[in-house]
Amino acid sequence: MKLLVLHAHPRSKASVVQRAMVRAISGLDGVTIADLYAEYPDFDIHVAREQQRLLDHDVIVLQHPFYWYSSPALLKEWLDLVLENGWAYGPGGTRLAGRFLLSAISTGGTQEAYRHGGRNRFEIAELLSPFNQTAYLCSMAYLAPFVIHAGRQLPAGQLAAAAGTYRDLIVGLRDGAIDPLSRLAPGFTLPPAFSAKR
Amino acid sequence: MHPQDLLLGAFIYLAAAVIAALLATRLGLGSVLGYLVAGMVIGPSVLGLIGREGADVMHFAEFGVVVMLFLVGLELRPATLWALRRPIIGLGGLQVVATALALGAGALALGFGWQAALTTGLILAMSSTAIVLQSLSERGLLKTSAGQSCFSVLLFQDIAVIPILALLPLLATVNPQSAHGATLIGDLPRWAQTLAVLAAVGAIIVAGRFLTRPLFRLVAATGSREVFVGLALVMVVGIALLMQLVGLSAALGTFLAGVVLADSEYRHELEMDLDPFKGLLLAVFFIAVGAGIDFSLLLHQPLLVAGLVLGFIALKFGIMFLLARLFAMGGPDACRFSFALAQGGEFAFVLISFAAGLGLLDPGQSGLLVAVVALSMAAAPLLMILDARVIQPRFASKPGARGSEPIEDTGARVIIAGHGRFGITVGRLLQASGIRAVVLDHDAEQIEVVRKFGFRTYYGDASRHDLLEAAGAAEAQALVIAIDEPEKVLQIVETARRHFPQLQIFARARDRVHAYRLINAGVEHVYREVFAASVDLGKQLLVGLGMHPFEAHRAARRFKAHDEDLLRRSARHVDDTQRLIDIARQEREELERVLTSDASAPGASPDHAWQAPDGRPSDAGPAPAPPAGQAAPQPAPWPPVPWRAGAMH
């Protein structure tokens, strides 16, 4: 399968974890990495081009730091503009049906912070539900997210290991070694149009 | 006439015009009434400052009417004229016929012979184009629907003078030579005369279409304004002469020429250059009309003259009002229309002397008619004031009876002064966004180019307030000054701010110092002509050197905002070079600090910003973070603290 990694980080220079993740999957055949902030520094997203790029790939990876329990602004802008009514969803909007959506995020807090009663009060899966539902509305399958927690505090070796796991996931999806349907987000039911398309 | 007398005469007329106009407009009466009264005062009947040469002066000053009709024509594109065909022919034609018959019947009742009565009716059917158009335009009513109806009727009357001139000799029992004696073609057979007339009209149309534009471009290229004015006058005078040669009304010929040139880009320049001539000549004309009123006749038969004037005005008003209602005008419009046109006109004097020459009117009748027409013309401004001050307010208080609205919206939202490489980009962006713009440029070549791209363009110097006004500055929202002459830009700013304070001004600045001056002149939107391009280049250079595009983008934006802020803060020290250097030095250090702090301070990274101060994992203790969305107040243009991306928790 072909993968499109939409990478959004407004300060790539200051980024540690995201940079490690990008490095880990760079140069792979069949994996396109799009640095959105480099392509659209003025936020002027070329919708037709982005839609074509989506059609050219099977798995869409949204890779970004988990700013404010969500994505950086440009990725949100990208979703707002590119996933048009009648194209990605709504009447006749089944162009993305049958594809997969994967969130690959890095957080500042540890995994323990993301639980009921923890500092961030919600689980990652709950906080990611807008992306989960976005996939559903676009008749895509939402995969279990890939998360690196508190990456900045990890010793270099552990960060490299985490990045390696990410690479394995990407390569596995690309080669079919990992069946994406076996890796759906917990509780995710496939949208009706998804199965029709596959 | 002795040259001394000529100068003295000119002095008396002009001085009277100035004083009368000042007094009349101060009293809110309109300048036309002032001129008429001034004429009466300096005329032979009162002060005697000017003598009986008034009639000659009037013939000369009739040229003012000719120029006025040329200007009226300039305002009327052929399409507009065509759209007005129904009111011109229907309303105008009915008016002339009905008024002529009714007034002729009146004259018959007063004991005139039927030929004299019909002649009188035709003469009195004319209204005064000069007074009505001048008064209406002074009050800004020319483009209202009542104003347009008045215009249509007046236009028809001006055209009707020609057949009337042809008809009167047929009524005459004696047939003197003077019928077409003044024309070159008077001795030719009828068909040849007709042919000559058609050829003259054709020549005006063809020359106006194809000859004038290159000619004006040639003259405009000399850059000398008086040559342009000279050419305009030569053209109008030449057409007037040509028309007289073939026995047509000069006013009609120049009107036609005006219509032909209405689509030309030189229209506004022509309007402005000829306007003072028109104004002065009309003033002299009105003064001559005032001076020509024979007060002795008035003193001998005051009741008769007064009765005739009142009866004439009342009858004409009644017919106008009936016609107005017939043509479905509302109450306010019908009143304005009827009050405006209830008087005799300048062509009446021409027709009276012509008819007297034919023996159609005896000297007593023609003297009486001159007095009646002149007095009714003097009363005309009063009637329009009566209408504006007393009648119209009554309608205004009634709901549903709104006065007339401007029917033509020619105003563009944006005026672009200067359409070189700077202005053209602005213009194209506006055009692509569907916003109407008028382009002014004083480069005739450039105007030609711009026209081909489909812009409405006018030739002229945009620092002249009358050109700005003609381009619609009073209604426009914004003025873009994209001229590359710094001094000129400042001049235009000054003119625009004084006369059109509502205009938003967007100005092109040549350099930093010019930008200071523009800012000090009160311009908010100042754009240094190469600044944006340099910043863009610098941004792409940073990317080329390996900087992340988004960082380069932000650096460029910060630099720009910083520099523009600096520009505004330094503007008031424009004359203090040392001070400017000091400020620039301080600011450079500040700018460097700001730009580098963002790039080279990983410790200030947002990824850490939410961590506990002692470096504990952020989930280990209470959050030290301020509530989301509550940013600290930030000094302009951006905080000197490192820029923060979204916070990651």
Residue B75 pLDDT exceeds 80: no
Better-scored residue on pLDDT, B501 or B145? B501
> A126 touching B, CB under 8 A?
no
Tokens of B495: 């003119």
Query: For the ranges B133-137, B496-500, B621-625, which has the lowest average pLDDT?
Result: B621-625
Give pLDDT, residue A38: 94
Query: Helix, strand, coil proportions of chain B in percent (round to 5)?
Result: 65, 5, 30
Give pLDDT, residue B387: 80
Q: HEC states along B255-311?
A: HHHHHHHCCCCCHHHHHHHHHHHHHHHHHHHHHHHHHCCCHHHHHHCHHHHHHHHHH
> B548 touching A, CB under 8 A?
yes
B150 Cβ contact partners less than 8 Å away, ≥ 6 residues apart: B132, B133, B136, B337, B340, B341
Give pLDDT, residue B58: 67
Q: HEC states along chain A?
A: CCEEEEECCCCCCCCCHHHHHHHHHCCCCCEEEEEHHHHCCCCCCCHHHHHHHHHCCCEEEEEEECECCCCCHHHHHHHHHHCCECCCECCCCCCCCCCEEEEEEEECCCHHHCCCCCCCCCCHHHHCHHHHHHHHHCCCEEECCEEEECHHHCCHHHHHHHHHHHHHHHHHHHHCCCCHHHHECCCCCCCHHHHHHC
Q: Which helix (H) or strand (E) holds B506?
A: strand B504-509
Q: Which long-range contacts (CB under 8 A, 24 or more apart) does A154-160 make?
A: A159/A16, A159/A17, A159/A20, A160/A20
Cα–Cα distance between B236 and B231 in angstroms, integer? 9
Q: What is the DSSP letter of B450?
A: H
Give pLDDT, residue B29: 63
Summarize pLDDT for B354-407 with one digit per residue, the tens. Answer: 777 777 778 777 778 877 887 888 788 788 888 877 777 776 554 443 333 333
Residue B605 pLDDT exceeds 60: no
Give pLDDT, residue B42: 80
Which of A41, A68, A113 minimises the CB distance to B619? A113
> B619 touching A, CB under 8 A?
yes
Q: Could you state, in order of their start, the residue ranges of all structural domains in chain A?
A: 3-197
Residues of A in contact with B550 (CB under 8 A): 10, 12, 37-38, 41
In angstroms, what separates the C-alpha of B645 from chain A's closest C-alpha?
Answer: 7
Give pLDDT, residue B646: 58
Give the up-direction half-sphere exposure of residue B105: CA atoms within 13 A in the CB hemisphere. Answer: 7
Q: Using an 8 Å Cβ cutoff, are B316 and B99 in contact?
A: yes
At residue B47, what are phi and psi to the nearest 5 degrees? -85, -25
Average pLDDT, chain B: 76
Summarize pLDDT for B6-57 with one digit per residue, the tens. Answer: 787 778 878 888 888 788 777 766 677 778 778 878 877 677 777 666 566 6
Chunked into runs of 10 residues, chain A (198 residues) has average pLDDT values of: 96 88 96 96 94 97 96 97 96 94 95 93 96 97 96 91 97 96 95 85
Query: What is the pTM for the complete model shown?
Result: 0.56
Better-scored residue on pLDDT, B583 or B616? B583
Residues of A in contact with B608 (CB under 8 A): 152
Do the Cβ atoms of B605 and A14 come within 8 Å? Answer: yes
Give pLDDT, residue B396: 59
Cα–Cα distance between B608 and A108 in angstroms, integer? 8
B225 Cβ contact partners less than 8 Å away, ≥ 6 residues apart: B273, B461
Q: HEC states along B74-108?
A: HHCCHHHHHHCHHHHHHHHHHHHHHHHHHHHHHHH
Residue B547 pLDDT exceeds 60: yes
Instruction: Write down all domains in chain B, each with its CATH number in brackets.
Output: 9-397 (1.20.1530.20), 414-599 (3.40.50.720)
Tokens of B160: 């009707």
Q: Using an 8 Å Cβ cutoff, are A32 and A5 in contact?
A: yes
Do the Cβ atoms of B599 and A72 come within 8 Å? Answer: no
Q: Which helix (H) or strand (E) holds B244?
A: helix B225-245
The CATH number that domain A3-197 falls under is 3.40.50.360
Q: What is the mean pLDDT of residues B189-213?
A: 78
Q: Using an 8 Å Cβ cutoff, are A107 and B618 in contact?
A: no
Cis geometry, peptide bond prior to residue B617 (ω within 30 degrees of 0): no
Q: Using an 8 Å Cβ cutoff, are B71 and B258 in contact?
A: yes
What is the ipTM score, two decimals?
Answer: 0.83
Report the share of chain B in percent with pLDDT over 70.
82
Give pLDDT, residue B200: 81
Nearest chain B Cα to A112, which residue?
Answer: B619
Nearest chain B Cα to A154, which residue?
Answer: B617
Give pLDDT, residue B188: 65
Which of A41, A66, A118 minimises the CB distance to B619? A118
Summarize pLDDT for B37-47 with one digit per residue, the tens. Answer: 788 788 776 77
Give pLDDT, residue B177: 44
Better-scored residue on pLDDT, B440 or B409? B440
At residue B464, what are phi and psi to the nearest 5 degrees? -90, 130
The residues facing B416 across adjacent strands are: B439, B480
